[in-house]
Chains A and B, each alone.
Chain A
Amino acid sequence: MIKILDQPRYVCALGAMQTVQGIYRGVPVLHAGPGCAGKLAAGIAGNNGDSGYISPQIYPCSNVTEKEIIFGGEERLAETIENALRVVDGDIFVVLSGCTAEIVGDDIAKVSSRFANMEKPVVYVETAGFKGNNLEGHEWVINAIIEQYLAKKPVKEKVKGLVNIWGPVPSYDPFWVGNIRELEKLLIEIGLTPNAIFGEYRGIENIDKIPQAEFNLLVSPWVGLKNVKLLEEKFQTPYLHYPTLPIGAFETGKFLRTVGKYAGVDVEVVEAVIERHEKEYYYHIERTSDVFLENRTMSRRFSTVTNATDALAISKFLVNDFGLVPEKQYITDDTPEEYRDSIEKYFTEFEYGIEAKVTFSKDAYRIHEEIRNCDYFGPPLIIGSIFEKKLTKELSGNFLAVSVPIKERLILHSSYVGYHGGLRLLEDIYTYVLKQFN
């Protein structure tokens, strides 16, 4: 039976072009039809990545049309790569293929290999839309860089305390820059040296350091697992998988203790950092508790309608730090089947024996119907994307857009990660709650 998918919140694998854009001076070179980049950017970049050093409107693209479909587009791609190398001042060029080019069998590996001896690295990724979603595409881009670029470089010594940070996905996570920076800061505070490849001025220099890291730190329920496993295989770098993006005091403390222990950091150093932050954190919570406890416009129950990373991170914060009660949590990122069981398990590990039910669904119609029929014992808190705005209004509930498509807010370097991130999330939630009085 034909199903209509209502309001999906992910795009096809070619959307991983934004992962390349997230690498400072990284240049995506698309072998796809005209319009692919624009449409995908509108879906996941929006007002958070539509411009920059290079942007989706000006990515070099072979603009495959009927001629390339019939006769093959390999020469057109070669011409596009050649001219991109000539015209764009980039540090790494990543060729990404779209559906049509792959359906007609263009060999992008062969074409890209012609540029193997150029001054700037050229790697390729097969990101046809029918092969997977943008999150899988994100992993493929990183794996392509590992296999086709890093694995071919001379082996360098490991650097004590150097930690690669993986997890936040450029553009798709609207807070990606801020989130990575906060993770970096937390690591620095416990004496480690973070290495992240995304965001301002990191780029190829940090990519080159990846094999030297003492370990890889993956902060995500599933996106990036394939990358850290490949890094372990290629460079014998072990990895720490911490599934929850830490928001607020409870999770951030747990995060710092886990990372500190894994890295062999002195417990006293870690505890001192936690104590200092918690003092500040709880000062703010305490002085605002009247707002949190004495309002009649928000019940104690909430749902998230978002990707696995945000659903887990936000619900852990709202339950463990803030004592809210989770109704069903909806995961909308087309999570691959292989990870679903373990993700469901994470939602059974809240404090106080609290558990949340999880539904993996790509269809907003079904999700919204369920939310309409759920009793939240008052105005609910719905955290999701702009698609939940109307629904929340209909339920006289409270709403916050945190994941794509957001459209209604501008995010520069904000983040919900860490202690300050937790406070920021409370500000955003309760700003909406307070507006209900007006």
Chain B
Amino acid sequence: MANKKIKQIAIYGKGGIGKSTTTSNISAALVKQGFKVMQFGCDPKSDSTNTLRGGKYIPTVLDTLREKTTVKASEVIHEGFGGVYCVEAGGPAPGVGCAGRGIITAVQLFKQQRVFEELDLDFVIYDVLGDVVCGGFAVPIREGIAEHVFTVSSADFMAVYAANNLFRGIHKYSNAGGALLGGVIANSINAPYAKEIIDDFVKQTKTQVVEYVPRSVTVTQSELQGKTTIEAAPNSEQAKIYTRLALKIAEHTESKVPEPLDVHELREWASKWADHLLALETGEVTSKASCI
């Protein structure tokens, strides 16, 4: 345990895009490969780790801190599927207080107590709230926390917009030793044009797609059982995709500084795609991927 390098990863993306689903399946797949993993939910909703714990909520760091002045990290770590260490930062009720500060406090508490080293972890995966609305939600990408950031995005414009915003955050912190971008996890990629949109976006922003994850009813069925796909349908096609993604992330070593589009470029880019999709619908042009 002496000099073991813990790989710390942060997963960002627009709210509702499938971050927690993807993160939990990555964690589940990694423990199945024999790694020691902690999943750290950084969202006041505190439901990141639910599918690793049979759909059950766990007491959060901040709930515990609300009741006591000091919190031992061990009190808020709960084991989930395959021994994944589950932690939820938690936060205030909607409309009061400062959730961003809550994330900072929770992450710092773990860092100060050197929990990751003591647990001899291989991976810590931060599952961060959709919109990086303030400095608190940028904590995992700041110096000394995560090294690699992955963003979950569909081909939906708002998801791409959120991803581009995240790239701007990474760009900002990149000179100060912050995390760099590993790539995009392209989620809900079923329509041919969806793959083309994401591919074009990563090309524009000088990054890469780590994996294409199709929308699948298996995921929904598993989640309704309170489980990850890896646990509920280990032999499914979807589980194979999540395992492949997890292994790629495990092997990933070199992250880069992305080149986010500015607001005008992003709008122009989106408008070009809107025209293209409209033309596809009306049958004016044929997509290169239409034969797939």
Contact = CB atoms under 8 A, between A and B. Distances in A.
Interface of A: 66-74, 103-106
Contacts of A70: 62, 65-66, 91-92, 97-99, 101-102, 105
Contacts of B95: 105
A105 B66 CA distance: 18
A218 B3 CA distance: 72
B96 A71 contact: yes
A66 B105 contact: yes
- Is the contact region of chain A dominated by helix, strand, or loop, or is it mixed? helix
A103 B98 CA distance: 8
Contacts of B105: 66, 70
B66 A69 contact: no
Contacts of A106: 96
A104 B97 CA distance: 5
Among A70, A74, A104, A105, residue most surrounded by chain B Cβ atoms (within 10 Å): A70
Given A67-B65, A67-B66, A74 B101 contact: no
A66 B101 contact: yes
B101 A104 contact: yes
A71 B91 CA distance: 7
A73 B101 CA distance: 14
A68 B95 CA distance: 14
Contacts of A71: 62, 66, 92-93, 96-97, 102
Contacts of B92: 70-72
B250 to A, nearest CB: 34
Interface of B: 62, 65-66, 91-93, 95-99, 101-102, 105
Nearest to A75: B96
Nearest to B69: A67
A70 B290 CA distance: 50
Contacts of B102: 70-71
A72 B97 contact: yes
A105 B96 contact: yes
9 contacts: A69-B97, A69-B98, A70-B65, A70-B98, A71-B62, A71-B92, A72-B96, A74-B96, A103-B98
Nearest to A107: B96
Contacts of B62: 70-71
A81 B248 CA distance: 57
B68 to A, nearest CB: 10
A105 B99 CA distance: 12
A71 B94 CA distance: 10
Nearest to A66: B105
Contacts of B98: 69-70, 103-105
B218 to A, nearest CB: 38
A279 to B, nearest CB: 66
B70 to A, nearest CB: 12
Q: Which 9 pairs show the lowest CB-CB distances between chains A and B?
A: A72-B96, A72-B97, A104-B98, A70-B102, A71-B92, A71-B97, A69-B101, A70-B97, A70-B101
A103 B136 CA distance: 13
B69 to A, nearest CB: 8
Contacts of A104: 96-98, 101
Contacts of A67: 65-66
A68 B105 CA distance: 12
B46 to A, nearest CB: 13
B88 to A, nearest CB: 14
Contacts of B97: 68-73, 104-105
A67 B99 CA distance: 11
A45 B254 CA distance: 58
A103 B97 CA distance: 9
A74 B93 CA distance: 13
Nearest to B99: A70
Contacts of A74: 96
Nearest to B98: A104
A245 B99 CA distance: 49
A13 B93 CA distance: 29
A74 B98 CA distance: 13
Contacts of A66: 101, 105
A287 to B, nearest CB: 67
Contacts of A105: 95-98
A70 B105 CA distance: 9
Contacts of B96: 71-72, 74, 104-106
B71 to A, nearest CB: 11
A106 B97 CA distance: 7
Nearest to B97: A72
A103 B93 CA distance: 16
A69 B99 CA distance: 9
B86 to A, nearest CB: 21
Contacts of A103: 98
Contacts of B91: 70
A104 B105 CA distance: 15
B260 to A, nearest CB: 26
Contacts of A73: 97
Contacts of B66: 67, 70-71
A96 to B, nearest CB: 20
A106 B96 CA distance: 7
A67 to B, nearest CB: 7
A413 to B, nearest CB: 46
A312 B95 CA distance: 48
Nearest to B95: A105
B63 to A, nearest CB: 10
